[in-house]
Structure 1
Amino acid sequence: MSSRYKWLMTALITIANLPISANDNALQIAERFITSFYSWDQNALNALLTEDGDHESIIYYQGWAEGGNYSIKTRRPCVMNKDAVSCSITVTDDFGLALGYIATDTFNLKISNGQVTEVTFTADDPPIFDKLVNWIMNERDHILTGPCLDMFAGGLTPKICAKTVAKSAEEFMRVEVLKQQ
Structure 2
Amino acid sequence: MKKIFYLSILIFLGCKNQTNSKIDVYQNDNIVIANQFIDAFYSFNEDSLKLSLSYAEKSHPSILYYQKWAECGNYEVLNRADCEIKNDSLVICPVTVKDDLMSALELDLNVTDTFHIIIKDKKIRSVKTSSNDPVVYYKAKDWIKQNRPELIEKPCEDAWEGGPTPCECIKATIQGLAEFKANEESQKTQ
Normalized against structure 1, the TM-score is what?
0.85
Q: Deviations over 1:9-30 (max 9, x none)?
A: xxxxxxxxx9881111111110
Inter-CA distance 52–24: structure 2 relative to 1 (3 Å threshold): closer
1:46 to 43, 50, 72: 50
Q: Distance in 1 between matches of 2:113 and 2:50?
A: 19
- Structure 1 counterpart of 2:86, one-letter code: N
User: Partner residue of 2:77?
Assistant: 72
Q: What does residue 99 of structure 2 align with?
A: 93
Query: What's the CA shift for 1:140?
Result: 1.3
Following TM superposition, by how much is the alpha carbon of 1:168 offset from its aligned partner in structure 2, in angstroms? 1.7
Counterpart amino acid of residue 139 in structure 1? N
Deviation at 1:53, TM superposition (A): 2.5
| Equivalent residue number for residue 168 of structure 2 | 160
Q: Which has the larger radius of gyration?
A: 2
What is the identity, as a one-letter code, of the residue corresponding to 1:127? V
Give the superposition deviation at 1:52.
5.7
Match of 1:135 in 2: 143
Asked if the contact 2:40/2:49 (under 8 Å) is kept, the reply is: yes
The amino acid of 1:74's aligned partner reads N
C-alpha distance in 1 between matches for 2:153 and 2:180: 19
Deviation at 1:98, TM superposition (A): 1.7
Q: Secondary structure at the match of 2:58?
A: coil
Structure 1 residue 48, shift from structure 2 partner = 1.1
- How far apart are 1:51 and its partner, in Å? 4.2
Deviations 1:115-143 (A, max 9, x none): 21111110100011001110111111123
The one-letter code matched in structure 2 to 1:40 is F
- Which runs of 5 or more structure 2 residues have no equivalent in the other structure? 1-20
RMSD: 1.7
Cα distance between partner residues in 1 of 2:40 and 2:50: 9
- Structure 1 vs Structure 2: percent identity of aligned residues? 33
Alpha-carbon contact 1:86-1:108 (below 8 Å) kept = yes
Gaps of 5+ in 1: 1-17
Runs of 4+ off more than 2 Å? 50-53
Change (3 A) 1:111 1:52: closer
Is this contact kept in 2: 1:143–1:149, CA < 8 A? no
Give the match for residue 84 of structure 1.
90
Counterpart residue type for residue 29 of structure 1 = I
Higher helix share: 2
SS at match of 2:57: coil
Q: How many residues align?
A: 164
Match of 1:174 in 2: 182
Distance of 1:164 and 1:78 partners within structure 2: 32
